[in-house]
Structure 1
């Protein structure tokens, strides 16, 4: 048995680093842990804290493109974040100019949720517990 204890991080690629950095820090409110420019790769790596528990790594690459190789071709279906109030979160995001789907109700759990996208089209979900 591996004895996996928790998810350490989720890595996201971007082709517009500044736009994505602003989205994840100023709109979603994630805290910057560390930011590094890797000269040899001509890319940034931004480590972000999600509520002090989880970490997102945001990577920029000058030749960013959709990947057709395993495992990237399988893709991350979406990344979900737990919130206290989906309805007020939708209003907040829309006020920031983010296109957000209308609220839905999960047919199995009766919980509220919605979807929106980051600047690179990565599907993100808000789920109310």
Structure 2
């Protein structure tokens, strides 16, 4: 078996309209498709990043809240590569999103920070290697 790249990540949200606005307007992800699934009383929103990878945003009635601290087993966070972490963090803060102080990855020397989506899912901004064009897919 040979895996290519990450195709999509699925996220279940508590308030569909709030999360849709956050992922499209705050983070700027492009809507690929939006479907209401009447049999499940659920929306499925497909969102694309510039490299083609996607986030599937789901709404399910009465989904339990996400465990926070201590961290539970399973998916820890989603990380997005950006050309300038400081600028991206400032853009989020300007829209009222709480962003943690910038840190330096002790192994790569690159800057990163964390923030959360409306349901508390940890999201990371990780600085691209210098000279990497936005959305570039490594070979």
**TM score, norm. by length of structure 2:** 0.85
SS at match of 1:40: helix
Which contiguous aligned blocks of 4+ residues in structure 1 show a shift greater than 3 angstroms? none
Q: Within 5 Å, give how 1:1-129 maps onto structure 2.
A: 2-66=1-65, 74-129=73-128
Shift of 1:105: 0.6
- Structure with the higher fraction of residues in strand conformation: 1
Does the C-alpha gap of structure 1 residues 67 and 21 become closer, same or farther in structure 2, counting only changes over 3 Å? closer
Unaligned runs of 5+ in 2: 129-139
Computed over aligned residues only, the root mean square deviation of the Cα atoms, in angstroms, reads 1.4
What is the rounded CA distance, in whole Å, between the counterparts of 1:26 and 1:111 in structure 2?
27
Shift of 1:8: 1.1
What is the rounded CA distance, in whole Å, between the counterparts of 1:50 and 1:33 in structure 2?
10
What is the rounded CA distance, in whole Å, between the counterparts of 1:92 and 1:26 in structure 2?
12
What is the rounded CA distance, in whole Å, between the counterparts of 2:37 and 2:51 in structure 1?
25
**TM score, norm. by length of structure 1:** 0.91
